[in-house]
Structure 1
């Protein structure tokens, strides 16, 4: 296939970082759609405007979502990308693939699509970029035959995502991959048949390090934690110190001053009531400090990227919940949250925006949760309001 000049795109290949342009060029050597995509992108850079048009619903039998329709607005100039639909494929929990399964996956996409992938999208799906309306149904059928299903799109439960959890991480407090698989099976109808005002995302991180970035990009984040006190092996602490570790620096960096070094006994102690389980001490002294024994999760509500309103970080909804199969307590809460949101939200209004509009008190009453101090998103900072010590003691 003849290569045409794309000087503006080639500028994106400069520097040390990998470039999507390089990857498209690889596919363009054998795929007309990928080659046409390069030329259309170059034209978009020249004209400073995109050439994907709005409108045009496309899908496959039995699914209301999972496919994002994409059409070029100048098909006469670029006929090989006049249709360039995206297929969202539900990924395995923790992104565990075998090499053989990935080869089967790639063979199907080479047969029906552009050969371009996004592994993985921000929702989590394996994104297949660029196929025709004619090829959609046979592509999805063959993906199903090798064990893959479509993910979510539109006003639906979006494809769940999780970190690797207990499969590879000693800090994991919950079985994040097991939870993700169970919830994916449970919410199949909500995922494949969009019926809500907008999207709803659940992401699971097995500890407060939040390797799934659940707190910032999911409407309901499940973050593994523990309820008792973290464990300290003081023999290992002393070994760290003997090798030059600065224990005073660690104590200074504890956000709630929960750690204390007993110089006389050469012991590190923790005040369990003050510890917020941020995991900084565990991260820097993994051989000496470890997670507690009574494990579960903290639930955060309201994380999202900016659309109707600005980006939001999730805030605490449930400080501690036991996450044990079959996760009935968690599912009941999710169902109540979704029912309230679906009944009251405007079009394209996320759960955090609805809570902000209608008030946290109304939301908590609807889902059957009692108000707790941990739920306060931003503590009062008005300097003109204060309380006396008697009032704090009386009301606290």
Structure 2
């Protein structure tokens, strides 16, 4: 890109205004993409840390999260890019992908919070992120490439719509239905929500 940090070919999106004399406040307005943890699980301490870094070096405007998955730091000047990167790496953060590169893999919460997950999405996302570090940070593709991991066909991260490689969990064999339980439910022998919900006729 037109700007960046030492050793990386992506992670920074350069933005310059064509009329700096008329709009000096946004003469530079570069974007920094910060690699996200699997399933976007952050502690409040981690979020405060990121916000503090961006308060010191940028506009304090964040996009949580971009459709690629990265946390987006919107708006800084060229001279603040290296100090921002230095602080991020000192705290254990890294830049995500941008441009014609492997983009940061992303995933749903998977087995961490969801009963429908058919595989460990967070582990696959983490392993893919670690394996493709070079491809993320040094663009070598003719076009961007995205991997998204959904634990089941509900596809909560919209992998089908947003990714080049969609990894979606499915059943290993035929779905098994307890027909006796279905009949009992239909006959009113099993109460909805364990009897905890008072279902009434809708008044429309």
- Measure, in 2, the Cα distance between the counterparts of 1:67 and 1:224: 33
Q: Which has the higher strand share?
A: 1
The answer to whether structure 1 residue 222 and structure 2 residue 167 are counterparts is: yes
Structure 1 unmatched runs, 5+: 1-55, 246-284, 288-396
- Measure, in 2, the Cα distance between the counterparts of 1:230 and 1:69: 49
2:145 match: 200
Structure number, greater radius of gyration = 1
**Count of aligned pairs between the two proteins:** 193
1:369 match: none
Q: Residue 12 of structure 2: which of 57, 67, 72 is its match?
A: 67
Deviation at 1:194, TM superposition (A): 0.3
- Measure, in 1, the Cα distance between the counterparts of 2:166 and 2:2: 31
Deviation at 1:212, TM superposition (A): 0.7
Deviation at 1:232, TM superposition (A): 2.4
- Per the alignment, do residues 84 and 286 of structure 1 end up closer, same or farther by CA in structure 2, a change over 3 Å counting? farther
Q: Residue 154 of structure 2: which of 209, 212, 216 is its match?
A: 209
Deviation at 1:244, TM superposition (A): 9.6
2:111 match: 166
- Per the alignment, do residues 170 and 286 of structure 1 end up closer, same or farther by CA in structure 2, a change over 3 Å counting? farther
Deviation at 1:123, TM superposition (A): 0.6
Q: RMSD of the alignment, in Å?
A: 2.0
1:146 match: 91
1:71 partner SS: coil
- Measure, in 1, the Cα distance between the counterparts of 2:79 and 2:23: 18
- Per the alignment, do residues 177 and 286 of structure 1 end up closer, same or farther by CA in structure 2, a change over 3 Å counting? farther
1:123 match: 68
- Per the alignment, do residues 67 and 244 of structure 1 end up closer, same or farther by CA in structure 2, a change over 3 Å counting? farther
2:60 partner SS: strand
The answer to whether structure 1 residue 57 and structure 2 residue 5 are counterparts is: no
Summarize the alignment of residues 220-299 of structure 1 with structure 2, pairs less than 5 Å apart: 220-243=165-188
The answer to whether structure 1 residue 89 and structure 2 residue 34 are counterparts is: yes
- Measure, in 1, the Cα distance between the counterparts of 2:30 and 2:193: 46
TM-score scaled to structure 2, two decimals?
A: 0.89
The answer to whether structure 1 residue 186 and structure 2 residue 144 are counterparts is: no
Misfit runs of 4+, over 4 Å: none
Structure 2 unmatched runs, 5+: 195-204
1:110 match: 55
- Per the alignment, do residues 207 and 185 of structure 1 end up closer, same or farther by CA in structure 2, a change over 3 Å counting? same
2:97 partner SS: coil
Q: Residue 78 of structure 1: which of 13, 23, 29 is its match?
A: 23
TM-score scaled to structure 1, two decimals?
A: 0.47
Structure showing greater relative contact order (alpha-carbon pairs closer than 8 Å, 6 or more residues apart): 2
